[in-house]
């Protein structure tokens, strides 16, 4: 069953065309409205762009100022930085000097300690020596005394002998007396023998004593040599101390110079810092100003962006309307074709319809062309607007960045100010510390000098002592020699004494013999006399020896006394030195402590300076950043101006584009109106030309068709 | 213009049915007057229509025929075989003229028929009785008035004393009637009880009257309806007949009904969507509102169903329309071939969709012709076979559920199996050794099977069994055949009653939507990917106490499925025949309007139609039988092309 | 088989792959814009799918594929031309269709014998309109089914 659609389709198409025409008119009117809005918007934009322009110019100017400020700030900051660097260098040097000083002082201290130790040992030795020498002296005195005793005995002996001798002589005469004398002699000889024995014993004792005296002298000698060496050592140490003290003194002087320079530098730093502070404050004020300026520019930009977004929105609206119109044009074309097809099917009856359909097609195609043109324009406008929005957004972004940077710069400046204040504090600290150092340094120098003087004194004293010690040594050697001689003499004496004893014994024997002899007679008076002569000689030599010994002993005694005095004085001197050395040690100790303190203080200063340095460097960096930012600002500001010029150009193009749109839209509107008229014609044509559909009842049943909704899918 | 053809068809149809009835009484008794009247009316209408359309030949013929029938109605002549032949001939010729006009061919000649009528009428000229003239005159006048577009009113006035006091008399009544329009007839009447009333028949432009006002004037007014002629009364007493198509019938263009059906379909879709939306928002409403909404929805759905059913009924016409034509065909063919054939039909009132009526004509015609030409034997053969000499062709139509079953059976010689097989072999067509009836039918339905048909008289538009099959399939129907050698053949057509509106499940597979008729779905279940096993190249899953073979829609249609751990399975069939159709998702359950997918370009397996869910996009409807066939074929192809070996 | 052409018939002109074709307007039921097409599985390659048109299911043939041209994306200008031949209604998808005009028979000549192959079957004639060459289509051939079209053979394209 063929579906009959002729009359129905005609109606449908007609109605659809009318609808379509109305739609197109509506859309075209909307486009007209929008184009008008756009034109107005463009004007507004132009104005805001002008505003933006002037703001941007202001901004550029203030940015230039800021840049200049930043430059000068930069210069000051550089100065500050270099000052602080110098300070740092000096302090480093100072630190080095202090360290050297401390080291030298330490050395000195240890030398002094050594010296003190040596001195103490010398003192101890000297005291020992003194004690020994006292003992020696005592021993020698005893010896001397015993010798003297022996001497006296010897003299007695000699006397006795002499008497004996006399007695013997007298024998002849009186053997009896002889016998008595011999008894006397024997008794005397007995006595002399016992005296001889006593003398021998005491000579033995003396020999022993001489031995012990010799060993004690050896000891003393050794001690004294030791002492001498010690004293030499002390002398050497003193030399070293002197050298060290000189070095320390030189260092201290240098340090003094350094400290002074630090003080000067600190003063300069302080001034620089104050200058930096002032500059930073000024810079801050300018930045604030430029921030305000940027804010204004930003507002203009934002407004511009707002306008352009609106324009873009409008353009997009128009674009979508254009799309809709395109769609409608396509559908109209389709409709008209379908209508033509139906008309052709209706043959003659559809001819008028076909003509109208053709015209509608043409109109639709023209509309399509017009909307296509509009679409082009719109697309161009959109493109331009998008570029403008991008440019404006860039500008906004730059402004925001600038603001942020300015904010950073401002906070940077604040930090600088803070840093500068800190620096100033550090500088103050440094100044105070250096003042203290100055003091400490001076006292160190004094202490060093004192020590040096003391050390020199000690050196002199010890030199003398050395001399004294040498004298002692010589004396002791003399004593030694003498003692040896005494010992020898004693030895001889001993031998002699032994001879004497023997003689004595001989004598005694002789005496016995004499007695015997006497008894036997005085035959051997000659022998006895010889023996007596011998005894007399021996007794005389003994007496001489003993006298010599006594003299030697005296000498020794004197010598010992002298040594004793010398040693005591050395001991005293040593003791004094010991005290002095301890004082020096204490001074050196305190000096060391102070030096260490100073070293620490210097280290701290160095740190303080390092901090200051860092702060200054930061400041410099900040300032550099700000400088750079400002330069960028300037560039950006330049960019603003360029963008704004662009935007201005865009706005002008927009304006002309909008005008064009309005023109085209008018054309489109006319087309749409014509379309409507066509559709009307068509509907009339349709009603007149369709074949008779009357049923026999005369009932006319119209067919209601669904109207297609706008933009919805069409399923006709 | 289609209106014109439809009207002609209708009138000719009525003529035919009338003639069929009249045929029974030829030579026995006078034909039923009402039937005569009907036939007369229709020829009269046809005359008018032909006149308006400018078909002069048809008009003339119809006029002459009308004259003859009028003579019959007036009993001026009696119906003879000759006369009946002339009538049938005229009917056929009129149709031919219309068809020729439609196809822009020259019209066949009518002179012979005219002569026949002339001769028939000459016999009856004298028997015109004047007495009927008047009655006929009124009927004519009423008809003419109606034809002019006027309404005909009957005004009855019963005078009474009360009315007379008010000044309402016959004269005032007459005046009132004259105000209304042209008085066609006025006459007194005697009512039951001896009362007298006056009747005025008025032709008026007025379309509606306020009966109350008229009643106030003492006049009873209503539309004039022709009084029914009493059975058996002489044609001269037949009361004036309202010469008009029954006023309770409205002729509607089928395209409008199509349109209504389309709108109906859309409404069904929209309602389904409304229900969906309603279900979604029902949770947002307070309970009583939600319930109210649901009730409204349900009521809406019900009314819509009623409306739909009603609309479908509007489209239904009795199949008798088609059945009517067939006897004529049989008559002609029988005459030509010299066979004696009787055609009977039952179930003429069985209704089918008007849409199908057109498309059934040719297939039925062909089958009947076949029955006459090949089925029924010659009288001699029949007698020799011990059959009654007159062959019978039976047309039967019934409704079984939603299906119309039409049977064409003959008691002829049945389909010649050997002959068919021989012919098939000689034509090089593959054939089984022992074909059963369905294969037989398939064979004779192959194009090129019978060249004899081209030479057959009914060649026309190349109708053959092939075309019959294809036409029936296009209608969504099915043709089967029963035949017994020597006893006869029965062809059975099964057609869906209407354009279907069915419940369907909308499913997604491979990114596309499909509709599965819900009637075939036993159950919807879910399967997990890990439960699917492979057995001899089939995918199966555990189901109830056994297994369920699976068919993946995406595989059958060569689409890319969504990768899912779980997927829905629609179970078709029961027990051992159960099959699971695997989809990606079940989207919705909807009423759908089934649209045919007929074009040869779209002859794809497993698709039985298309529908639209409200968004204008076509959704294909699955044909489960075809689906399973295709799945099986794919599997077999797979097996053939892949290396042998079971995959477990 | 060529269709007969009368002295001046109305045609719909459409564009396909830079070539202008023409169909008799009497063959055309109506035209639509190309909206959603539902693909039909296992249909021939050039059958894009089906659409709903005036309540009826109409197959949509991609004419480009039918004639062996490569696919092109659908635009606002693409059209679905629904042709009616006897009982069949088939939609043809073309690049654009904006013209309706009469073509007089004297501007039409038969297609050359040199046009061989499938493409020759589709042409009912060639018309010269001004400086344009328009190919007149033989619609029943174009929408014929049952014959697989090889897309390897490019269609005729005159410049």
Tell me which chain C residues have a C-beta less than 8 angstroms from the C-beta of A361.
Answer: 98, 100
Measured between CB atoms, which of B601, B616, B630 is closest to C52? B616
Name A254's Cβ contacts closer than 8 Å, sequence gap at least 6: A97
A701 and B256: CB-CB below 8 Å? yes
In the prediction, which pLDDT does B459 show?
Answer: 37
Q: What count of CB pairs under 8 Å joins B to C?
A: 82
Kindly report, residue by residue over A293-327, the tens digit of the pLDDT.
667 767 776 777 777 777 777 777 777 887 888 88
Which residues contact residue A629 at a Cβ distance below 8 angstroms, ignoring those fewer than 6 apart? A402, A405, A406, A408, A409
What is the fold of B317-496?
Heat Shock Protein 90 (3.30.565)
Closest-CA distance of chain B to residue A688, Å: 16
B18 Ramachandran zone, left/alpha/beta (phi>0; psi -120 to 50) = alpha
pLDDT digits (tens, 9 = 90+) for B24-34: 777 777 778 88
Mean predicted lDDT score pLDDT of chain A = 66
> Higher confidence at residue B564 or residue A259?
B564
**Option in A1, A691, A697 nearest B254 (CB):** A1
Which overall architecture, per CATH, does domain B501-646 show?
Answer: Beta Barrel (2.40)
Residue A327: closest CA among chain C residues belongs to which residue?
C76
Residue C16 has a pLDDT of 92
Q: Check A334 against C77: CB less than 8 A apart.
A: no
Q: What is the pLDDT of residue C49?
A: 93
Across the interface, whether the CB atoms of B3 and A703 are under 8 A apart is answered no
Q: Which of A452-456, A527-531, B175-179, C121-125 has the lowest mean pLDDT?
A: A527-531
Q: What are the structure tokens assigned to A641, written together?
A: 């101006």
Task: Provide the pLDDT for residue B59.
Answer: 87
pLDDT at B231: 43
Lowest mean pLDDT among A68-77, B43-52, B99-108: A68-77
pLDDT tens per residue, range A36-87: 776 776 676 667 667 666 766 766 676 676 667 667 666 766 776 776 677 6
Same fold? B2-134, B317-496: no
Interface check for B609 against chain C (CB to CB < 8 A): the answer is yes
| Closest Cβ opposite residue B255 in set A4, A695, A713 | A4
User: Bigger pLDDT: B115 or C94?
Assistant: C94
| Percentage, residues of chain A above pLDDT 70 | 34
Place domain C5-158 in its CATH homologous superfamily.
Answer: CheA-289, Domain 4 (2.40.50.180)
Neighbouring CB atoms inside 10 A of A233's CB total 18
Mean pLDDT over residues A477-505, rounded? 61
Q: Please report the pLDDT score of residue A716 as a whole number.
A: 36
Model confidence pLDDT, tens digit, residues B486-497:
888 899 888 876
Nearest Cα of chain C lies from the Cα of A326 at a distance, in angstroms, of 9
pLDDT exceeds cutoff 80 at B299: yes
Closest CB to B251: pick one of A5, A695, A703.
A695
Is C98's CB within 8 Å of A365's CB?
yes
Query: Do residues B420 and B439 lie in contact, with contact meaning Cβ atoms separated by under 8 Å?
Result: no
pLDDT band at residue A509 under the 50/70/90 scheme: low
Fold of B2-134: 1.20.120
Judging contacts by C-beta atoms under 8 Å, the chain C residues touching residue A327 are: 76
In this prediction, residue C51 carries a pLDDT of 92
Residue B240 has pLDDT above 60, yes or no: no
Eight-class DSSP state of B372: I
Q: Which of A290-304, B269-283, B364-378 reaches the highest mean pLDDT?
A: B364-378
Residue B604 predicted with pLDDT over 50: yes
Indicate the residue of A698, A699, A703 with minimum beta-carbon distance to B256.
A703
Look at C98 and A337 and tell me if their CB atoms are within 8 Å: yes
Is pLDDT of B453 > 50?
Answer: no
Q: How far apart are CA B429 and CA A211, in angstroms?
A: 166
Contacts of C49 in chain B (CB under 8 A): 618
List chain C domain ranges.
5-158
Question: Where residue B514 falls among pLDDT bands split at 50, 70, 90?
Answer: very high
Per-residue confidence (pLDDT) for residue B232, from 0 to 100 = 41
Of A326, A334, A345, the CB nearest to C33: A334
Residues of C in contact with B462 (CB under 8 A): none
Considering only CB atoms, B1 lies closest to which of A8, A691, A715, namely A691
Contacts of A16 (CB under 8 A, 6+ apart): A335, A707, A708
Neighbours of chain C (3+ CB pairs under 8 A): A, B
**Residue of chain C whose Cα is closest to the Cα of B263:** C55
pLDDT of the residue at B627:
79
Instruction: With a cut of 70, say whether residue B302 has pLDDT above it.
Output: yes
Q: What is the mean pLDDT of residues B116-139?
A: 60
Which of B333 and B585 is assigned the larger pLDDT? B585
pLDDT band at B466 (very low <50, low <70, confident <90, very high): confident
**Residue A418 confidence (pLDDT) above 70:** yes
> Residue range A154-168: average pLDDT?
58
Kindly tell me if the per-residue pLDDT of B515 is higher than 80.
Answer: yes
Binary contact (C41, B558; C-beta < 8 A): yes
Q: Tell me: pLDDT of B543 over 80.
A: yes
**C37 contacts in chain B (CB < 8 Å):** 618
For the segment B120-145, the average pLDDT, to the nearest whole number, is: 61
* Calpha distance A82→A75 (Å, rounded): 11
Instruction: Flag whether residue A334 sits within 8 Å of chain C, measured between CB atoms.
Output: yes
Strands (E), B470-511: 478-484, 488-496, 501-509
User: Which pLDDT belongs to residue B586?
Assistant: 92
Partner-chain contact C40 B606, CB within 8 Å: no
Nearest in space to A496 (alpha carbons), one of A550, A540, A533: A540
**Chain B residues close to A713, C-beta within 8 Å:** 615-616
Confidence of residue B619 (pLDDT cuts 50, 70, 90): very high
Pick B178 or B233 by higher pLDDT.
B178
In the prediction, which pLDDT does A180 show? Answer: 57
Own/partner pairs, A696-700, CB within 8 angstroms, 24+ separation: A696/B7, A696/B45, A696/B48, A696/B49, A696/B147, A696/B245, A697/B245, A697/B251, A698/B149, A699/B250
Does residue A17 carry a pLDDT above 70?
Answer: yes
Q: Is residue A94 predicted with pLDDT exceeding 70? A: no
Band (pLDDT 50/70/90 cuts) for residue A641 is low
CB within 8 Å: C26 and A345: yes
> pLDDT by residue (tens digit) across A427-453?
676 667 667 766 766 776 676 677 667
**Mind spelling out the 3-state secondary structure of B52-110?**
HHCCHHHHHHHHHHHHHHHHHHCCCCCCCHHHHHHHHHHHHHHHHHHHHHHCCCCCCCC
* Average pLDDT over every residue of A218-238: 66
Q: Is the pLDDT of residue B53 over 60?
A: yes
DSSP B615: S
> H or E stretch including C82?
strand C79-85
Half-sphere exposure of A62 (CA within 13 A, CB side): 23
The residue ranges of chain C whose pLDDT is under 70 are 1-7, 113-120, 145-159
Question: What pLDDT score was predicted for residue C159?
Answer: 33
More confident residue, B547 or A101: B547
Tell me which residue has tokens 């159960």: B578
Chain C CB within 8 Å of residue B597 CB:
yes
Chains that touch A (3 or more CB pairs under 8 A): B, C
Q: Is it the case that residue B173 has pLDDT exceeding 70?
A: yes
Which residues does chain C have within 8 Å of residue B598's beta carbon, measured at their own beta carbons?
57, 88
Q: What is the pLDDT of residues A348-392, one digit of tens each?
A: 777 777 788 888 888 888 888 887 787 787 777 777 777 777 777
Residue A610 in this model has a pLDDT that exceeds 80: no
**In this complex, do A344 and C52 lie within 8 Å of one another by their Cβ atoms?**
no
How is chain B split into domains, by residue range? 2-134, 151-228, 256-314, 317-496, 501-646
Cross-strand partners of B586? B507
pLDDT reported for residue A336: 86
For chain C, say whether A275 makes contact (Cβ under 8 Å): no
Inter-chain residue contact A693 with B3, CB threshold 8 Å: yes
Instruction: State which of B237-246, B290-299, B509-518 shows the largest mean pLDDT.
Output: B509-518
Task: Supply the pLDDT for residue C95.
Answer: 95
* Res. A660: pLDDT tops 50: yes
CA-nearest of A226, A357, A308 to A650 is A308
Tell me how close the Cα of B630 comes to any Cα of chain C, in angstroms: 10
Q: What is the pLDDT, as a whole number, of residue B541?
A: 85
Residues in B lying within 8 Å of A, measured between beta carbons? 1-3, 7, 45, 48-49, 147, 149, 245, 250-256, 258-259, 355, 358, 615-616
Region B151-228: CATH code? 3.30.70
Q: Check A331 against C33: CB less than 8 A apart.
A: yes
């Amino acid at each position: 069953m063929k579906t009959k659609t002729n009359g129905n389709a005609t109606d449908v198409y007609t109605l659809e065309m009318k609808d379509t025409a109305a739609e197109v008119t509506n859309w075209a009117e909307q486009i007209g409205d929008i184009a008008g809005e756009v034109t107005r918007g463009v004007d507004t934009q132009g104005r805001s762009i002008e505003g933006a322009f002037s703001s941007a110019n202001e901004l550029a100017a203030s940015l230039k100022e800021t840049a200049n400020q930043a430059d000068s700030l930069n210069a000051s900051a550089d100065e500050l930085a270099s000052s602080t660097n110098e300070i740092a260098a000096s302090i480093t040097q100072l630190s080095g000097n202090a360290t050297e000083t401390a080291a030298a002082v330490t050395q000195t201290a240890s030398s002094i300690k050594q010296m003190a130790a040596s001195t103490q040992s010398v003192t101890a030795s000297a005291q020992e020596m003194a004690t020994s020498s006292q003992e020696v002296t005592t021993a020698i005195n005893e010896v001397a005394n015993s010798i003297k005793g022996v001497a006296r005995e010897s003299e007695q002996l000699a006397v006795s002998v002499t008497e004996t001798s006399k007695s013997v002589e007298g024998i002849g005469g009186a053997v009896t007396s002889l016998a008595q004398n011999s008894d006397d002699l024997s008794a005397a000889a007995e006595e002399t023998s016992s005296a001889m024995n006593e003398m021998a014993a005491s000579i033995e004792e003396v020999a022993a004593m001489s031995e012990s005296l010799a060993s004690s002298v050896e000891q003393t000698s050794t001690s004294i040599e030791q002492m001498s060496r010690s004293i030499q050592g002390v002398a050497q140490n003193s030399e070293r101390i002197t050298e060290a003290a000189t070095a320390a003194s030189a260092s201290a002087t240098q340090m003094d110079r350094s400290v002074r320079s630090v003080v000067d530098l600190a003063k300069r730093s302080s001034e620089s810092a104050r200058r930096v502070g002032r500059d930073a404050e000024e810079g801050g004020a300018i930045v604030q100003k430029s921030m305000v300026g940027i804010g204004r520019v930003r507002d203009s930009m934002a407004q511009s962006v707002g306008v352009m977004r609106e324009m873009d929105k409008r353009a997009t609206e128009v674009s979508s309307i254009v799309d809709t119109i395109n769609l409608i044009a396509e559908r109209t074309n389709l409709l008209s074709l379908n209508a033509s097809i139906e008309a052709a099917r209706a043959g003659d009856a559809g001819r008028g319809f076909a003509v109208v359909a053709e015209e509608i097609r043409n109109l639709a195609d023209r509309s399509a062309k017009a909307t296509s043109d509009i679409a082009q324009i719109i697309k161009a406008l959109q493109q331009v607007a998008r570029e403008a929005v991008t440019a404006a957004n860039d500008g906004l972004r730059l402004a925001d960045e600038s603001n942020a940077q300015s904010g950073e710069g401002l906070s940077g400046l604040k930090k600088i100010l803070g840093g500068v204040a800190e620096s100033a504090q550090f500088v103050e600290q440094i100044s105070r510390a250096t003042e203290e150092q100055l003091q400490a340094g001076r006292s160190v120098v004094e202490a060093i000098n004192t020590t040096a003087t003391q050390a020199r004194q000690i050196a002199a004293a010890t030199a003398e002592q050395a001399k004294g010690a040498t004298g002692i040594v010589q004396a002791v050697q003399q004593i030694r020699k003498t003692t040896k001689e005494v010992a020898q003499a004693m030895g001889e004496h001993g031998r002699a004494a032994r001879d004497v004893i023997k003689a004595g014994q001989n004598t005694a024997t002789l005496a016995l013999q004499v007695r015997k002899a006497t008894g036997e007679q005085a035959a051997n008076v000659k022998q006895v006399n010889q023996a007596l002569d011998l005894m007399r000689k021996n007794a005389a030599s003994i007496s001489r020896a003993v006298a010599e010994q006594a003299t030697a002993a005296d000498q020794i005694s004197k010598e010992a006394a002298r040594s004793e005095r010398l040693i005591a004085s050395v001991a005293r001197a040593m003791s004094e030195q010991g005290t002095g050395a301890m004082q020096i040690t204490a001074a050196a100790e305190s000096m060391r402590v102070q030096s260490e303190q100073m070293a620490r203080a210097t280290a701290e200063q160095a740190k303080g300076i390092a901090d200051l340095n860092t702060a200054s460097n930061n400041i410099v960096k900040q300032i550099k950043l700000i400088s750079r930012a400002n330069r960028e600002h300037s560039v950006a500001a330049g960019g603003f101006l360029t963008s704004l010029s662009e935007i201005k150009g865009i706005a002008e193009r927009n304006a002309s584009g909008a005008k064009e749109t309005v023109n085209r839209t008018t054309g489109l509107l006319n087309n749409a109106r014509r379309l409507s008229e066509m559709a009307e014609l068509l509907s009339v044509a349709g009603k007149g030309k369709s074949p008779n559909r009357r049923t026999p009842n005369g009932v006319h049943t119209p067919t209601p068709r669904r109207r297609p909704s706008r933009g919805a899918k069409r399923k006709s | 213009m289609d209106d014109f053809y439809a009207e002609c068809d209708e009138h000719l149809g009525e003529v035919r049915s009338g003639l069929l009835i009249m045929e029974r009484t030829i030579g026995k008794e006078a034909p039923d007057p009402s039937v005569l009247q009907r036939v007369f009316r229709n020829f009269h209408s046809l005359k008018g229509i032909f006149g308006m359309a400018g078909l002069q030949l048809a008009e003339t013929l119809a006029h002459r025929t009308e004259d003859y029938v009028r003579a019959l109605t007036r009993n001026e002549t009696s119906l003879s075989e000759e006369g009946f032949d002339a009538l049938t001939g005229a009917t056929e010729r009129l149709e031919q003229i219309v068809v020729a006009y439609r196809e822009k061919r020259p019209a066949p000649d009518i002179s012979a028929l005219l002569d026949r009528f002339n001769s028939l009428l000459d016999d009856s000229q004298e028997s015109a009785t004047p007495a009927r003239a008047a009655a006929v005159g009124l009927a004519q006048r009423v008809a003419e008035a109606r034809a002019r577009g006027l309404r005909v009113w009957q005004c009855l006035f019963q005078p009474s004393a009360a009315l007379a006091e008010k000044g309402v008399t016959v004269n005032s009544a007459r005046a009132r009637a004259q105000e209304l329009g042209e008085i066609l007839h006025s006459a007194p009447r005697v009512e039951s009880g001896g009362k007298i009333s006056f009747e005025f028949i008025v032709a008026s432009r007025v379309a509606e009257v306020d009966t109350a006002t008229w009643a106030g004037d003492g006049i009873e007014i209503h539309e004039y309806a022709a009084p029914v002629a009493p059975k058996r009364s002489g044609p001269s007493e037949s009361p004036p007949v309202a010469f008009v198509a029954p006023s309770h019938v409205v002729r509607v263009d089928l395209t409008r009904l199509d349109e209504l059906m389309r709108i109906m379909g859309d409404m069904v879709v929209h309602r389904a969507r409304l229900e969906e939306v309603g279900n979604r928002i029902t949770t947002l409403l307070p309970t009583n509102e939600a319930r109210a909404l649901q009730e409204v929805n349900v009521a809406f759905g019900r009314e819509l169903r009623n409306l739909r059913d009603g609309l479908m009924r509007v489209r239904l016409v009795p199949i008798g329309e088609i059945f009517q034509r067939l006897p004529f065909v049989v008559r002609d063919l029988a005459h030509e071939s010299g066979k004696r054939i009787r055609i009977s039909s039952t179930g003429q009132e069985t209704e089918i969709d008007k849409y199908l009526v057109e498309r059934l004509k040719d297939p039925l015609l062909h089958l009947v012709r076949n029955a006459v030409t090949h089925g029924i034997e010659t009288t001699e053969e029949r007698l020799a076979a011990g059959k009654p000499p007159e062959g019978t062709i039976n047309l039967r139509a019934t409704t079984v559920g939603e299906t119309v079953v039409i049977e064409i059976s003959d008691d002829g010689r049945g389909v010649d199996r050997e002959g068919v097989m021989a012919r098939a072999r000689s034509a090089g067509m593959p054939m089984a050794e022992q074909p059963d009836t369905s294969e037989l039918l398939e064979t004779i339905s192959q194009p090129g099977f019978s060249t004899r048909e081209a030479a057959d008289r009914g060649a026309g538009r190349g109708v053959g069994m092939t075309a019959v099959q294809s036409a029936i399939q296009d209608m969504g129907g099915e043709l089967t055949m029963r035949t017994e050698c020597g006893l006869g053949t029965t062809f059975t057509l099964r057609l869906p009653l209407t354009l279907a509106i069915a419940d369907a499940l909308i499913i997604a597979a491979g990114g596309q939507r499909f509709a599965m008729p819900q009637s075939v779905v036993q159950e919807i279940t879910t399967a997990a990917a890990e439960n699917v096993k492979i057995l001899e190249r089939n995918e199966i899953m555990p189901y109830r106490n056994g297994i369920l073979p699976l068919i993946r829609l995406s595989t059958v249609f060569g689409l890319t499925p969504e990768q899912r751990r779980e997927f829905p399975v629609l179970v078709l069939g029961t027990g051992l025949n159960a099959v699971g159709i695997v989809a990606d998702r079940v989207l919705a359950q909807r009423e759908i309007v089934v649209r045919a997918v007929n074009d040869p370009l779209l002859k794809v397996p497993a698709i039985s139609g298309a529908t639209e869910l409200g968004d204008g996009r076509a959704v294909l409807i699955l044909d489960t039988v075809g689906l399973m066939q295709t799945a099986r074929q794919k599997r077999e192809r797979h097996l053939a092309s892949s290396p042998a070996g079971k995959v477990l | 088989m060529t269709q007969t052409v009368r002295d001046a018939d109305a045609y719909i002109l459409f564009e396909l792959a830079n070539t202008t074709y023409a169909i008799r307007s009497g063959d055309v039921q109506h035209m639509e814009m190309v909206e959603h097409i539902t693909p039909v599985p296992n249909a021939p390659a050039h059958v894009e799918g089906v659409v709903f048109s005036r309540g009826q299911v109409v197959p949509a043939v991609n004419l480009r594929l039918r004639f062996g041209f490569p696919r092109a994306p659908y635009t606002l200008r693409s059209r679905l031309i629904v042709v009616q031949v006897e009982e069949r209604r088939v939609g043809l998808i073309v690049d654009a269709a904006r013209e309706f005009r009469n073509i007089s028979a004297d501007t039409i000549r038969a297609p050359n014998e040199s046009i061989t192959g499938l493409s020759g079957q589709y042409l009912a004639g060639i018309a010269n309109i001004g400086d344009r060459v328009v190919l007149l289509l033989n619609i029943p051939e174009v929408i014929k089914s049952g014959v697989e079209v090889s897309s390897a053979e490019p269609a005729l394209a005159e410049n």
